[in-house]
Amino acid sequence: MGSKKHKKESKKKKHRSRSRSPLDGEERERKRHRKHKDRKKDRSPDVEEVPVDSHLVKDNGVRSRSLTDSPPREPRPRDDVYRDSRSQESSEASAPAGGAAHESLSVAETNKLRAKLGLKPLEVAEKQADDGKIKDDLGEFYHKPAANIAQQRKADKLRERLDERREKRLMESKLQTALLADESDGEDASAWVRKSRDQEKQKREAAKRAAMLDEMDAEFGVGALLADERRSERAAAYAPQHLRGLRVAHELAALPDERDTVLTLADKELLADDAEDVLVNVNLLDDDKYRKNIVERKKARAGYQAYDEEAELQAALGFARPVLAKYDDEIDAGAAGRSKGFRIGDDDAIQAQRFRDMMRAERLAGGPDRRLESLALPERRIASDYLDEHEVQAKFKKFKKKGKIRKKPKQEPIDVDEHEAGTAPLHTDDTDVKPEQFCAAPADEDDAELDTELQAALARARRLRQAEQAASRVPKVEEILQVSKAEPAEEEPAEDSAMVLDATAEFCRTLGDIPTYGLAGNRDQRAEIMDFDREETDAEPEAEAAAGAWSRVDVHSERPAELGAGGAGLEAEPALGAGVAGALRLALSKGYLERAGAPPRPARAPPALAAHYSIEDKAHEDDKHGRRERGYAGPLSDFREKTNFRPSIKLEYVDDDGRPLCAKEAFRYLSHKFHGKGPGKNKQEKRIKKAQQEGLMKKMSSTDTPLNTLHMLQQKQKETHSPFVVLSGAKREPAN
C-alpha cells in the first residue's frame, strides 16, 4: 500500500512539474498542501508544520525563532553543535539559518551564503505577467495563446450583420421610388370616389373632342398628311445613326444576311454598375445556349483532356488558349461574353475583325508552304507470314556479276549435228577409263572437275561390277592371266632401265621366307578345287604311302606363274570351300593343323595356344605358396582352448571424424550402416552443433568467468593493495 502511495505522489508530481497553468509557484504549493491531507501521517512528530510562503511574510524571522524554541533538540545533538557554532559566526540576519534548518533563508541571506560558498547570487525571477504570455518549461519561448473559438464566432456573426445592413442601405438608396403609401393624402373613400368620377368625365370629354377633331381632319384630308409627317418625324427622331455604338452580343457572321434580325435589349441585372446596353437576338441566344450545353456535356463526358486538340488548334490560330475551359462559367461568367460581339456603326473594328478572320483562315490553310503534318499514323495491317512482291524484290536484289570468267559448258545444250559421230562429248563413261583421260584435262572448270570425279567414281564401280562378273565366269581366268601377263610385259619394255620399287614388294621381301609359302594352295579356289580333284584321283593309290598326303599339296605343279603376281608372300585369304576339304585347307594354311614331322607338343598344352609355347614353364613353381593345397578350408589341427588367454577386451568405436563413440552411438552408427539410411539433415545439424558445443566446453576455462572477471579483480586488488574493490560510478567531488 505504501508503494502505491509513493507512486501516486510521484506521478502527480511529474504532471505538476510540466504544467503550464498560470497557477504556478506559490498558489500551486498552497493547493497541493491543502489537498494532501494524508501527508500529515508521513510527517514525523518533531517536524513542524510551516506554511509554504512563510518566507515571504515579513515577520518570518520572529516567528521562526519563537517556533524553533519549542521542538526538542535531543535527537540531533551533533547538528545542534554545528548550528550553534555557525550561528555564532553569522549575524542576526542569518539567525534562521543557524536556528532552524526547516525554514528557508531569505534572498539576501541566501545570497550571502552563496557568496561564501563561491556561487553566483540568486537570479530574481521576473514577473511573468508581461503580456499574459505563458512561457514553456525551459523558459525559452512564449507560447501563442490558443484561438478562442467563441470569440471568433461572435466576430463572424457581427460581421455578417454589418454586411447585411450595408447591403440593405445600398439597395434602398437605389430603389428611390415613390411608394404608393406615401402618395395618398390621407383622404377618405368619398373623396377618392369623387376624384375618380372627375377623371372619367375628363376622359370622356377628351375622347369626344378627339373624335370631333378627327372628323374635321378627315373632311379636310389632313389626316394622311399628318400621318406622313408624323412618320417622318418619328423616322427623324430615331434614325440608324442613333443606334451607332450599341453593342451586339453576336458575331457579325452569326447574323443571317438574307433576313432581318430583330434585336432586343439583353437582360441586365438591376443593380449592375455598367450601364451599357447590349442587343441580342433571342433565337441566336437560344442556339448559343444549346450549342454550349452540348459542348459542355461532351466535355464533361470526356473529363480532363491533357492533349485537347481543339484547344491547341485554337491556340495556334491565335485565339486565346483556354486554361481549364470547363470552369470558365464558374470562374468568370462575363469574360467570354464580353469578348465577342461587335458594335453597330463601328466599321473600323468590324474591318479589323474581318482581317483577323482572314489571317486565321490563311494560317489554317497552311500558308504558302501548305504542309500541315497530321498525326494520323499509317493504318495498321495484320502482319503476314509471307513476303510481298515488293518486299521480295527489295530483299532479294539480284546484282549482275562483273565478269563471268568461267562458264560451264554443261549449261549449253549439245547440238548433235554440230559434232561428228563418235567424237561427241558424251559425258558418259565407258568401261576402261584410261588414266590419260584424267591427265588430259588439267585446266578444267570446277564444275567439270566435280563432274569428272563423279564420273570416275561411277566408272570404278562399273568396273568392279564387271570384274566380278568376269571373275564368276570360268573361262575368264585365262583372259585375266593373259592380261596380267600382258601388263608386266607391257610395262617392262617401257621401263627396262629403272627398277621399280614397290612398297608392297619391299615389305614382302623383308618378311623373309615363309615355310608354308606355296604349301597352301590359295591362289585360286577354282583352280585349286580343280587341282585337288585331279590330285585326289592321283593320290588315291598313294594314300597309304604318304601319311599326311591329303593335307599336302604338291608344290611342283604346273602352276608356277601364279607367283608372278607381285612375288609377294602374302596371299589373299583362302575362301572357305563348301565342304570339309576347304575347311581343312584353311586350317592348314593358318597353321592349326600340323604337317607330319612336326615336334610333338606336350599333352597338357591347350590346342589353341601357340606352338612354341610350352606350358611347363608356367606350371613350374618351387615356393611354399604353390605347395599349399588351394581350395582346402577346413581345420588342419585339433582345436584346443588356450589356457592362459585372458583377453582385455576393449571395444572402441570411432566415428567418421575420429571421435570415439559410446555404445549407444556406436549402435546407432551400425544401424545406419545396416539399413543403408542415415540421419536426416536436422539430426545431422544437431549432432554437429553438439560436437561444437563439446569443443567449446573443453576450451573454456574452469577457474574463471568467460570475461576473465576474477582475473581482473585480482589485478585490481594487486594494484590498490587492498582486499576490496569499491564499486561506484559516481563522479567524486573534491573534498571541501
Partner 1 sequence: MLEVTCNDRLGKKVRVKCNPDDTVGDLKKLIAAQTGTRSDKIVLKKWYTVFKDHIKLSDYEIHDGMNLELYYQ
Residue closest to 106 by CA, chosen among 145, 163, 55:
55
Of residues 113 and 581, the one with the C-beta less far from partner 1 = 113
Is residue 86 a contact residue for partner 1 (CB under 8 A)?
Answer: yes
Cell of 399: 546484282
Segment near partner 1 (CB under 8 A); pick from 94-102, 382-390, 397-405, 430-438: 94-102
Q: Which of 90, 127, 82 is nearest to 106 (CA)?
A: 90
Tell whether residue 110 is a contact of partner 1 (CB under 8 A): yes
Smallest gap, in angstroms, from Cβ of residue 719 to partner 1? 25
Nearest approach, Cβ of 143 to partner 1 (angstroms)?
16
Among 41, 120, 404, 698, binds partner 1 (CB under 8 A): 120
Q: Among residues 331, 440, 727, 730, which is the contact residue for partner 1, using CB under 8 A?
A: 730
Here the cell at position 566 is: 607381285
Are 77 and 111 within 8 A, CB to CB? no
Taking the least distance from each CB to partner 1, the nearer of 23 and 170 is 23
Coil, helix or strand for 222?
A: helix
Report if residue 666 touches partner 1, rule: CB under 8 A.
Answer: no
At its nearest, how many Å lie between partner 1 and the CB of residue 74? 11
Radius of gyration of the chain (CA): 72
Closest contact distance (angstroms) between CB of 735 and partner 1 is: 7
Please give the size of the binding site for partner 1, defined by CB under 8 A.
49
Which residue's CB is nearer to partner 1, number 139 or number 676? 139
Residue 102 or 338: which CB sits closer to partner 1? 102
Q: Which is nearer to partner 1, 41 or 404 (CB)?
A: 41
| Shortest CB 44 distance to partner 1, Å | 5
Report the residue from 62, 93, 115, 122 that binds partner 1 according to the rule CB under 8 A.
Answer: 122
Helix (H) or strand (E) holding 330: helix 328-331
Our CB check for partner 1 shows the closer of 93 and 691 to be 93
H or E stretch including 568? none
Q: With the C-alpha atoms ordered 55, 60, 61, 64, is the resulting torsion angle positive or negative?
A: negative
73/407 with CB nearer partner 1: 73
Residue 33 vs 230, nearer CB to partner 1: 33
123 touching partner 1, by CB under 8 A: yes
User: Cα–Cα–Cα angle for 191, 192, 194, nearest 5°?
Assistant: 65
Secondary structure E strands in 589-685: 653-654, 660-661
Cell of 625: 605358396
Q: Which stretch binds partner 1 (CB under 8 A): 74-82, 191-199, 605-613, 626-634?
A: 74-82
Question: Restricting to residues 482-521, which ones interact with partner 1 according to CB under 8 A?
Answer: none
Separation CA 241–CA 235 (nearest Å): 11
Cell matching residue 11: 506521478
The CB-of-4 to partner 1 minimum distance in angstroms stands at 12
- As measured in angstroms, the least distance from the Cβ of 679 to partner 1 is 54
Contact between 137 and partner 1 per CB under 8 A: yes
64, 68, 83, 521: which one contacts partner 1 (CB under 8 A)? Answer: 83
181: region left, alpha or beta (phi > 0 left; psi from -120 to 50 alpha): alpha
Q: Which residues in 532-561 contact partner 1 (CB under 8 A)?
A: none
Q: Which residue from 1, 129, 138, 405 is in contact with partner 1, where contact means CB under 8 A?
A: 138
Binding track, positions 142-171, relative to partner 1; x by CB under 8 A: ------------------------------
Verify binding: residue 415, partner 1, rule CB under 8 A.
Answer: no
CA distance 261 to 282: 10
Cell of 559: 602352276
Residue closer to partner 1 by CB (options 81, 316) is: 81
Near partner 1 by CB under 8 A: residue from 22, 51, 75, 367: 75
Q: How far is the CB of 113 from partner 1 (least distance, A)?
A: 5
Residue with cell 373613400: 189
Give whichever of 78 and 395 is closer to partner 1, judged by the CB atom.
78
Taking the CA of residue 331 as centre, how many other CA atoms within 13 Å lie in the half-sphere pointing to its CB? 9
Query: Exposed e or buried b for every residue in 635-661, given b needs 16+ CB within 10 A?
Result: eeeeeeeeeeeeeeeeeeeeeeeeeeb
- The yes or no reply on residue 626 touching partner 1 (CB under 8 A) is no
- What is the DSSP secondary-structure string of 61-78? HHHHHHHHHSS--TT-HH
Contact call for residue 102 and partner 1 (CB under 8 A): yes
Q: Which stretch binds partner 1 (CB under 8 A): 132-140, 275-283, 486-494, 583-591?
A: 132-140
Dihedral Cα 336, 338, 344, 346, nearest 10 deg: -100
Pick between residue 97 and residue 586 the one whose CB is nearest to partner 1. Answer: 97
Would you state the cell numbers that stand for residue 331, as one nine-digit string? 470562374
Quick check: 249 and 279 in contact, CB under 8 A? yes
**Chosen residue from 117, 178, 383, 649 binding partner 1 by CB under 8 A:** 117
Site for partner 1 in 10-69 (CB under 8 A): 10, 13, 17-18, 24-26, 28-29, 42, 44, 46-47, 52, 55
Contact 239, 344 (CB under 8 A): no
User: Does residue 70 interact with partner 1 by CB under 8 A?
Assistant: no
- Closer to partner 1 by Cβ: residue 114 or 360: 114
CA neighbor of 458 nearest in space, from 433, 438, 435: 433
Give the 3-state secondary structure of 138-174. CCCCEECCCCCHHHHHHHHHHHHHHHHHHHHHHHHHH
Candidates 123-131, 238-246, 274-282, 612-620: pick the segment binding partner 1 (CB under 8 A): 123-131
Distance CA 185, CA 398 (A): 118
In the complex, the smallest distance separating the C-beta of residue 80 from partner 1, rounded to whole angstroms, is: 8
From CA 467, how far away is CA 253, in angstroms rounded? 112
Q: Nearer Cβ to partner 1, position 117 or 697?
A: 117
Q: Which is closer to partner 1, CB of 29 or CB of 554? A: 29
From the list 37, 92, 125, 544, which residue makes contact with partner 1 (rule: CB under 8 A)? 125
The Cβ of residue 463 has, within 10 Å, a number of other Cβ atoms equal to 15
Please choose, out of 135-143, 396-404, 524-532, 551-559, the segment that lies near partner 1 by the rule CB under 8 A: 135-143
Of residues 4 and 612, the one with the C-beta less far from partner 1: 4
642 binds partner 1 (CB under 8 A): no
The three-state secondary structure class of 631 is coil
- Please tell me the distance from the alpha carbon of residue 257 to that of residue 469, in angstroms, as a whole number: 117
How far apart, in whole angstroms, are the C-alpha atoms of residue 330 and residue 336?
A: 11
- How far is residue 363 from each of residues 129, 200, 310, 314, 318, measured CA to CA in Å? 76, 72, 15, 11, 9
CB of 83 to partner 1, least distance (A): 5
Task: Label residues 557-569 b or e (16+ Cβ within 10 Å = b).
Answer: eebeebeeeeebb
Sheet holding 264-265, edge to edge: 264-265, 278-280, 247-248, 342-343
Nearer to partner 1, 43 or 672 (CB): 43
Can residue 124 be called a binding residue for partner 1 (CB under 8 A)? yes
| Range in contact with partner 1 (rule: CB under 8 A) among 75-83, 346-354, 601-609, 625-633 | 75-83
Alpha helices in 540-621 (DSSP H): 580-590, 615-619
Name the site residues for partner 1 (rule: CB under 8 A): 6, 10, 13, 17-18, 24-26, 28-29, 42, 44, 46-47, 52, 55, 75-76, 78-79, 82-83, 86, 97, 101-105, 107, 110, 113-114, 116-117, 119-120, 122-125, 137-139, 730-731, 733, 735-736
